[in-house]
Amino acid sequence: MSTEETKVKEFDRFCVLKLGGLIAVIYWLIATIRSTILIADSSFFVNLYYPGFWDLFLRIVTVAGIIGASFKLQQRLNEINAEKDLLDAELTGTQFLIEAADCPIIELDHQLRIKKVNKAAAVLTGTKAEDLEFKDVLSALFYPDDQEEIRLFLEQSQQETLDRIVRIKVRRMQRCYAAVQVAKEIVNEKVNRQLLFLNDVSELVAKVAETEKRTADIINLLDHNPTPILLLDSHQIHLHNRAVQNAVHIPADQLTLETLTEFVRTNCQDPEALLKAAAQASEEQTVQEIETVISIDGQPRNLIVHFVPFDSESKSYAVWVKDLTELHQRDDAIKELEEQLAAAHTTADEIRAEYQQHTEACSSERKQLIDQLTSEQQKTSDLTAELAALKEQIAQQDAALMERASDNQLLQEKLAQLQQDNTQLLTDLDLLQYQLEAIELPIMQVDLTGRLTKINTAAK
């Protein structure tokens, strides 16, 4: 603080007291003049220095009152000045803190114009502080769709936090989202000045958007998953996929915990066991697994229902159902095949024994056939030798036949003549036979050895 400022403050500190002393002197002079005028044959200097008793008493009381009042006023003024100095110091410190704060802070006046922008706010917006000062905050920082809502928010003295995240104008490629808070100075129930706090939540918004996208993708996958999946607690169903609706045939807007419980009681073979497992999964937060039979589309289905705890605070749990009907059918088919295989093993043993017997018989027969074949081979060898000899003989006979071929023509002619004669003889023989039969006398024919060769009818 400079010497001149110190002198000014010291003068201000006693100015009222000095002014009171001056008023007291002026009053004393006025009272002296008054006494001089009112009292005949009185001197001004006498009334100034030696007034009468009552006049002096009145002057002293009045001057004392003036000086006392001046002292009180000076004391109060000093207190006010001290408070002002303290406020100025605090304001200076506050301005420093605002300027040095990492949080973007913008000071607004009662007309929502920007008075001050700290470094963090300038960095956030990508704009110099002097380029933002004295501009309307709505048009400078916010988009038209949000301006009316933010204007109402800033003008309402009761609200200090905006209910939602808004997008603000910044000079950068990425979008900027901020949570808006205000600290308001209220004068006569009106907002006189306020500090606007902008909390950059762009990364959080991006993560939330990514999380929402992943959640939507997961929900989409769950919705197209053929396995029925639910997320529920003891009061309501929080999530279910389309497979649940297809299984219970209840529309999505009517699928509640009550309708689902009614479906279980109506179509489950042992509904109490299933509902008890669900209650244990919710209350005890333990994994439960139960196999049951539920009628779906009029057909009994073998199902295994899994209960998995999800959130211990809300006591929610996830449920997913696996259809074991085809597996049971395959088990039955496997059992039937095992029985057939056992029967086939028995038949195979019998066939194996029969095959063994047949093999032994075949071996014996084979041995016999081999022996026979060996004998036949020997015979064949002999026959081959004989055949060779016969071929040689045939060759010789062929040669002889060739020699006799010339004589063969003559023999053929004689043979033809003999055949002709034989035909005539046969004719004669038939005639004699007829004549023999016709003779009534007994006739018998014997050969050279005396044996009877033929008799006629009469001889018979």
CA dihedral of 389, 394, 395, 398, whole degrees rounded to 10: 170
Instruction: Please indicate, yes or no, if residue 426 is contained in any of the structural domains.
Output: no
Query: What does the pLDDT read at residue 170?
Result: 86
Query: Is pLDDT of 11 > 50?
Result: no
**Confidence class of residue 39 from pLDDT cuts 50, 70 and 90?**
low
Domain match, 156 and 229 both: no
Domain match, 233 and 256 both: yes
Instruction: Please indicate, yes or no, if residue 182 is contained in any of the structural domains.
Output: yes
- In the block, residue with structure tokens 């010291």: 10
Lowest-confidence segment of 77-91, 96-110, 129-143, 149-163 by average pLDDT: 77-91
Instruction: Please indicate, yes or no, if residue 92 is contained in any of the structural domains.
Output: yes
Instruction: Please indicate, yes or no, if residue 232 is contained in any of the structural domains.
Output: yes
The pLDDT tens digits for 379-424 are 777 777 777 777 787 778 777 767 766 666 777 777 777 777 777 7
Lowest-confidence segment of 7-11, 14-18, 258-262, 269-273 by average pLDDT: 7-11
Instruction: Please indicate, yes or no, if residue 340 is contained in any of the structural domains.
Output: no
Instruction: Please indicate, yes or no, if residue 353 is contained in any of the structural domains.
Output: no
Cβ-contact 290, 275 below 8 angstroms: no
- In the block, residue with structure tokens 């960095």: 123
End residue of a domain, out of 96, 122, 145: 96
CA distance from start to end of the chain = 191
Cβ count near 251 (within 10 Å) = 9
Query: Is pLDDT of 329 > 80?
Result: no
The pLDDT tens digits for 244-293 are 888 888 888 888 889 888 888 888 888 898 888 888 888 888 898 888 88
Instruction: Please indicate, yes or no, if residue 184 is contained in any of the structural domains.
Output: yes
End residue of a domain, out of 74, 96, 118: 96
Instruction: Please indicate, yes or no, if residue 451 is contained in any of the structural domains.
Output: no
CATH number, position 299: 3.30.450.20
Query: What does the pLDDT read at residue 184?
Result: 79
Count: domains in the chain: 3
Domain match, 150 and 181 both: yes
Domain of 24 in residue numbering reads as 3-96
Which positions ≥6 away from 136 have C-beta within 8 Å? 112, 113, 114
- In this structure, which amino acid lies at residue 294? I
Domain match, 57 and 80 both: yes
Query: Is pLDDT of 7 > 50?
Result: no
Structure tokens at 235: 């009061």
End residue of a domain, out of 323, 349, 378: 323
Query: Is pLDDT of 452 > 80?
Result: no
- Beta partners for 296? 299
Beta strands in 138-276 (DSSP E): 166-168, 176-187, 190-200, 229-232, 237-240
Domain match, 12 and 75 both: yes
Which positions ≥6 away from 229 have C-beta within 8 Å? 222, 239, 240, 241, 243, 244, 318, 319, 320, 321
Q: Between β-strands 288-296 and 176-187, what pairing exists: parallel, antiparallel or unpaired?
A: unpaired
The pLDDT tens digits for 419-442 are 777 777 777 777 766 666 666 556
Structure tokens at 296: 């779906």
Domain match, 124 and 168 both: yes
Domain match, 152 and 181 both: yes
pTM over 0.85: no
Domain match, 114 and 194 both: yes
Domain match, 81 and 107 both: no
- Angle ∠(67,68,70) on CA atoms, nearest 5: 65
